[in-house]
């Protein structure tokens, strides 16, 4: 078990989980790490994660794990996510994993899921959003959207790498072991460096 340093004691963290289903198993331990550092965590699910059983997990089992860690109801509707902005409910939002679909819509100002509403509402307060990318088209058509977000105020990326350069040359995935440090840096208005890592 990780040693607890309480770097996030009293910090209100929104954790948004979107549908890169194969990566969610790597994210859950990192949510536990946030909790062990003292974070008060509000979980938010995209529609896909909230509704879709798949070969990596069953929705009921995932929700049970998240509820056990966070001890708060999961926000899974746009209406439920909207108060994050006007009520200033969070200090930092983490999107982990962040799909290519979510990245593209965020870069284009589209808000049609609880995940996107939570980010939009939070950014209204000029507070940090941390993105842990996981998508097969990151170096393809989505490269321009990642570029937009990297240059956007209050957006910070968990350092990422090509996870399989020869078989999936356009695919990028965040180094989830750097998620906690990225959050700590983002709360100080800093981007954890380097952002681009060597291949796995």
Low-confidence ranges of the chain (pLDDT < 70): 1-4
pLDDT at 147: 97
Domains and CATH numbers, the chain: 15-186 (3.40.50.1950)
pLDDT at 4: 52
Q: How far apart are CA 20 and CA 60, in angstroms?
A: 17
Q: How far apart are CA 20 and CA 13, in angstroms?
A: 20
pLDDT at 16: 98
């Amino acid at each position: 078990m990780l040693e607890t340093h309480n770097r996030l004691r009293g910090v209100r963290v929104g954790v948004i989980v979107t549908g890169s289903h194969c990566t969610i198993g790597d994210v859950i331990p990192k949510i536990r790490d946030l909790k062990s550092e003292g974070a008060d965590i509000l979980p938010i699910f995209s529609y896909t994660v909230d509704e879709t059983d798949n070969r990596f997990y069953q929705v009921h089992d995932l929700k049970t794990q998240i509820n056990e860690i966070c001890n708060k109801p999961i926000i899974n509707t746009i209406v439920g996510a909207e108060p994050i902005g006007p009520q200033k409910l969070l200090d930092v939002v983490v999107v982990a994993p962040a799909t290519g679909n979510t990245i593209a819509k965020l870069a284009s100002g589209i808000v049609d899921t609880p995940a996107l509403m939570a980010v939009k509402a939070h950014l209204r307060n000029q507070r940090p959003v941390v993105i842990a990318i996981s998508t097969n088209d990151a170096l393809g058509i989505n490269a321009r959207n990642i570029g937009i977000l990297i240059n956007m105020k209050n957006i910070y990326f968990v350092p990422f790498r090509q996870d399989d350069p020869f078989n999936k040359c356009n695919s990028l995935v965040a180094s989830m072991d750097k998620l906690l440090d990225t959050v700590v840096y983002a709360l100080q208005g800093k981007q954890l460096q380097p952002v681009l890592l060597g291949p796995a």
